[in-house]
A and B are shown apart, each in its own frame.
Chain A
Amino acid sequence: MSIEIIDVSKKFDTYEALNNINLSIQPGELTALLGPSGSGKTTLLRIIAGLESADTGGILFDGIDITESSVRSRGIGFVFQHYALFKHMNVFENVAFGLRVKPKKERLSEGEIRHKVEELLNLVQLKFHAKSYPHELSGGQKQRIALVRALAVEPKVLLLDEPFGALDAKVRKELRAWLRRLHDETGVTSLFVTHDQEEALEVADKIVVMNRAKIEQEGTPEEVYAHPASPFVYSFLGEVNLFHGRHPSQEEGVKTITYVRPHDVDIYTEFHENTIPATIIGLRVIGGTVRVELQEIDGHGVEAHISSSRKDQLGLSVGLKCFLAYRNQKHFEKNEFYKDYSI
């Protein structure tokens, strides 16, 4: 099912949560709403679900206006950050809930419900926990139950609010991959909210970057990463080095900011053309990558990420004088920068 969001704005008292949002989501896509906390992404998700109402604007599902429709008639599945499992029901009853509360004429028979729930529990490998209560499960197990509970009613849209936010790093990684597989199998249009750029880049077909109640950029993970539309997107999607006033064809009076990702910094031990002299002031080895802290000759700090084999090859050590070359530099005008960062 396609989702169309048209001119949606929302204020909480004086706080502006969403400012004229327009967005369309194609059927079967897995979309990430990415942004820092307070950027409005969760509010947008809740408005799509009907748990919150927009002040202005509307939502279309498959071209049909559902702005005024109740939550239960929208045919959505919602997954909460803190699972929101029914604590007084066991796992089986949690998953069966949506099937049991259907109107009598749509409701499956008890046997069919049983069969369906067992099938879903098999899917998440929690068959043997059917009789367990939520407090007996780990965070990862709870979230898997919450997911199949939402899927049990066969929603046309699956909405996930920071689904892995409360889990530890390892479980989060596993569940991410699992969500991606699940999405590929079921093909249900899905939208998930996250503040973790790695998660968005890894899982989503499409990323919508939000900041301060507005959409900054939307596109495939490759697009937004390689061609960020604003300094905000650039710095939010990965680590950066930034330099003031280094645009090669700098016009008079226009101040610029130049961004370079740490993995786009090349280190040489001998002078090359267009390189800048610098000194290594710190080395940290993290697995196969080495984070090199450097200081340019004018005192400006730079971080470079290189492979540990490259480090050994160059024989880098703290205090060594070397030369830096910057690839894929991205220039923004300075007033764009302040628009984003002055508060």
Chain B
Amino acid sequence: MSYGGYKETRIIRWSIFISAFIFIGFMVILPLTTVFYFALKNGFTVYIQALTRPESISSIQLTLLVGATALTLNTIFGIAIAWAVSKFDFAYKRLLVALIDLPFTVSPVIAGMVFILLFGSDGFLGEWCINHDIKIVFSTTGIVLATTFVTLPFVARSLISLMTTQGREEEEAAVTLGADFMTTFWKVTLPSVKWALLYGMVLCFARAIGDFGAVSVVAGSMKSVTIEIFELYNEYLSSEAFALASVLTFVALVALGIKKSIEKFHSENGGKNEY
């Protein structure tokens, strides 16, 4: 039996197909092209000039620094959390797993505000920070913290599900063969999840450099790429704004490409390796 045999189902099928295409076109493809169109509207020289302004360069530097730091932190903690959750049993494990998802559900603005409330001059830890000459709010540290919070689930999530299905047998086998704790981790656990790890890292980085909500609350006078774009646009400097936007968009597209090729590679090779 096939669905295509009847005229009605064919019409329904085509209308769903077309509406999906219109939707994606309108919501994704059109805005994307707009970014590149406006960025390059005044010619390539203007585009390069817009990108090489000192403000643009410093915002790109800040964003890369923040993105790399948040990525490093979340990779280390993501691996640690996933390892703990999937290979060991302990109390409140399910609560911990549930909490990992919190940054996905909480608005980034709130995430930023939390750090102001904690470390700002009126905050719980604000006085302590001032006394010890530690500056968190309105500094790179604050931006890194807010970004790390927002992107925390990516690495942990992509590892937990895979590591849980893989179970503990390979680690047990390694230990019976004489491997110590760290050797087991480096030679058995980590290699078996490398593609999932890379996948999570790509998503984490893409999200980290694109965040606006949390960063704008804690940044103060500092400017990440997203804040710079927002301010340029408000000052009616649209070609500068779109030039920077095109850089972010390009990075996002590259990340998407890497993500897709990991998925493809994983299903062709790694997928079979799993069982």
Contact = CB atoms under 8 A, between A and B. Distances in A.
Interface of A: 49, 51, 71-72, 76-78, 80, 82, 84-89, 97-98, 101-102, 133-135, 146, 149-150, 152-153
A89 B179 CA distance: 15
Nearest to B190: A88
Q: Which of B177, B188, B194, B273 has the most CB of A within 10 A?
A: B177
A72 B175 contact: yes
Interface in B250-275: 272-275
B176 A88 contact: no
Contacts of B174: 86, 97, 101
Interface in B139-189: 169-170, 172-180, 183, 187-188
B175 A88 contact: no
> Can you list the 5 inter-chain pairs with the closest CB atoms, starting with the nearest?
A98-B177, A84-B169, A78-B176, A84-B173, A87-B273
Contacts of B192: 86-88
Interface of B: 169-170, 172-180, 183, 187-188, 191-192, 194, 272-275
Given A84-B170, A86-B170, A72 B179 contact: yes
A134 B194 CA distance: 17
Contacts of B170: 84-87
14 contacts: A51-B176, A72-B178, A72-B179, A72-B180, A78-B173, A84-B170, A84-B173, A85-B170, A86-B174, A86-B192, A98-B177, A101-B177, A134-B273, A150-B177
Contact of B176 (A49, A82, A85): A49
B188 A86 contact: yes
A89 to B, nearest CB: 8
A38 to B, nearest CB: 20
Contacts of A86: 170, 173-174, 188, 192
Nearest to A73: B178
Contacts of A102: 178
A86 B173 CA distance: 9
Contact of B178 (A80, A84, A98): A98
Contacts of A51: 172, 175-176
Contacts of B179: 72, 97-98, 101
Contacts of A71: 172, 175-176
Given A86-B188, A86-B192, A101-B183, A72 B173 contact: no
A72 B174 CA distance: 9
Contacts of B194: 88
Given A84-B170, A86-B170, A135-B272, A77 B191 contact: no
Nearest to B183: A101
Contacts of A135: 272-273, 275
A89 B172 CA distance: 16
A101 B169 contact: no
A87 B178 contact: no
Nearest to A95: B177
B176 A101 contact: no
Nearest to A93: B187
Given A71-B175, A84-B169, 6 more contacts: A80-B169, A84-B170, A88-B191, A88-B192, A88-B194, A98-B179
B169 to A, nearest CB: 4
Contacts of A133: 273
B247 to A, nearest CB: 36
B68 to A, nearest CB: 27
Nearest to A135: B272
A153 B169 contact: no
Contacts of A80: 169, 172-173
Contacts of B175: 51, 71-72
A149 to B, nearest CB: 7
A205 to B, nearest CB: 23
A90 to B, nearest CB: 11
B177 A149 contact: yes
Scoring A51, A89, A101 by chain B CB atoms within 10 A of each residue's CB, the highest score goes to A101
A97 B172 CA distance: 13
